[in-house]
Amino acid sequence: MQSHDFYTTQIVIWTKKYFNFPGLDIADDTQDTIAGCRPNKVSAIIDGDIRSCLPDFSARNIIYEPNLFILGEAKTADDFLTRHKDAENQMNVMINFLKKQPKPILVYSIPNKFVKRVQNELQEKITHFNAANVQVEVIDQYFK
């Protein structure tokens, strides 16, 4: 059973594999709280209310056009199953935040047995929130 940090690190690896260009600024929750760079809370208006969440990962590159903005969420099996209401809020906030960015990407890192379910949930939300510009990636523990 992999840890939450393992799944967060998978997002870092994915991002560096595809977007490791000068100017890439990465923040993730595995970094040291004092010396490291951790993600900031993001907010969006959903059904008339301002909602917030704290992503496990964020990356930006404002040097290249269009400006890249990636948010990532890592979920262990236990985290996904027991905190599903929180997970749904996170999906809603991150999608609505990202859809206003020039080049938005949402990356989920989750155990293989939940990949299809998460892909389906994210696609339903992308459609519901009219956020077709948000690229969605769901990776599992086997991503290299």
Task: Quote the pLDDT of residue 29.
Answer: 86
Overall number of domains in the chain = 1
**Mean pLDDT by groups of 10 residues along the chain of 144 residues:** 87 94 89 70 94 94 89 90 82 97 96 95 96 97 86
Task: Quote the pLDDT of residue 83.
Answer: 75
Residues 55, 38 contacting (CB under 8 angstroms):
no
Residue at 144 is within a domain: no
Residue at 109 is within a domain: yes
Task: Quote the pLDDT of residue 111.
Answer: 95
Task: Quote the pLDDT of residue 1.
Answer: 61
| Burial of residue 143 (number of CB atoms within 10 Å: 0-12, 13-18, 19+) | middle
Provide the residue range defining the domain that includes 114. 4-139
Residue at 12 is within a domain: yes
* Block residue for tokens 């609505």: 96
d(CA 74, CA 12): 11
Which residues are within 8 A (CB) of 83 and not within 5 positions of it... i.e. 6 or more apart?
Answer: none
d(CA 90, CA 95): 8
Residue at 31 is within a domain: yes
In the chain, count H helices and then E strands: 4, 7
